[in-house]
Chain A
Amino acid sequence: MAAEKQEKPGWKKLTKCDLIIGGGTAKEFKTGGWRSKRPVLIPGKCINCLTCWMYCPDSAIIVKDGKVVGYNYDHCKGCGICWNECPVKGKAIEMVSEKEAKAKEKK
Chain B
Amino acid sequence: MGKSNIVARTGNEAMAEAMRQINPDVVAAYPITPATEIVQIFASYVADGLVDTEFVPVESEHSAMSACIGSAAAGGRVMTGTSSQGLALMAEMVFIAAGLRLPIVMADVNRTISSPINIHCDHSDTMMIKDSGWIQIFSENAQEGYDNMIQAVRIAEKALVPVIVTTDGFIISHGMERIEILDDAEVKNFVGTYKPENYLLNFDRKITVGAIDLTDYYFEHKRQQIEAMKDSKSIISEVGAEFGKKYGRSYGLLDAYKLDDADIAIVALGSTAGTAKVCVDNMRSKGIKAGLLKPRVFRPFPKDEIADVLKNIKAIAVMDRSDSMNAAEGPLCLEIKAALYDKGVKNILLNYVYGLGGREIGLGDLEKVYNDLAEAVKGKAKDKINYLGVRE
Could you list which residues of chain A lie within 8 angstroms of chain B, going by C-beta atoms?
A: 8-11, 14, 16-26
Contacts and interface: CB of A to CB of B under 8 A. Distances in A.
A18 B223 CA distance: 11
A20 B207 contact: yes
Nearest to B223: A11
- Contact size range, B: 20 to 34
A11 B221 contact: yes
Contacts of A21: 198, 205-207
A26 B207 CA distance: 11
Interface string B95-107: 0000111000000
Contacts of A25: 208
A21 B204 CA distance: 11
B364 interface: no
A18 B205 contact: no
Contacts of B100: 17-18
A7 to B, nearest CB: 12
Contact of A14 (B160, B210, B211, B220): B220
Specify the main secondary structure of chain B where it touches its partner.
loop
A18 B216 contact: no
B101 A16 contact: yes
B99 A19 contact: no
B217 A16 contact: no
B101 A17 contact: yes
Contacts of A26: 208
Residue of B208, B210, B217, B219 ringed by the most chain A CB atoms within 10 A: B208
Contact of B224 (A14, A23, A24): A14
B223 to A, nearest CB: 4
B160 A17 contact: yes
Contacts of A23: 206
Nearest to A26: B208
24 contacts: A8-B216, A8-B217, A11-B219, A11-B220, A11-B221, A14-B217, A14-B220, A14-B221, A16-B101, A16-B160, A17-B160, A17-B198, A17-B209, A18-B99, A18-B100, A18-B101, A18-B213, A19-B198, A19-B207, A21-B198, A21-B206, A23-B206, A25-B208, A26-B208
Contacts, number: 51
Contacts of B205: 21
Contacts of B216: 8
Specify the main secondary structure of chain A where it touches its partner.
loop
B100 to A, nearest CB: 6
Contacts of B221: 11, 14, 17-18
A23 B204 CA distance: 10
Contacts of A17: 100-101, 160, 198, 209, 221, 224
B294 to A, nearest CB: 32
A59 to B, nearest CB: 16
Contacts of B224: 11, 14, 16-17
A24 B208 CA distance: 9
Given A16-B101, A16-B160, A18-B100, 8 more contacts: A17-B160, A18-B99, A18-B221, A20-B211, A21-B206, A22-B206, A25-B208, A26-B208
Contact of B209 (A9, A14, A19, A24): A19
Contacts of B207: 19-22
Contacts of B198: 17, 19, 21
A23 B205 CA distance: 8
Interface string B141-170: 000000000000000000010000000000
A23 B202 CA distance: 11
A36 B223 CA distance: 36
B34 to A, nearest CB: 33
A11 B226 CA distance: 11
B205 to A, nearest CB: 7
B272 to A, nearest CB: 36
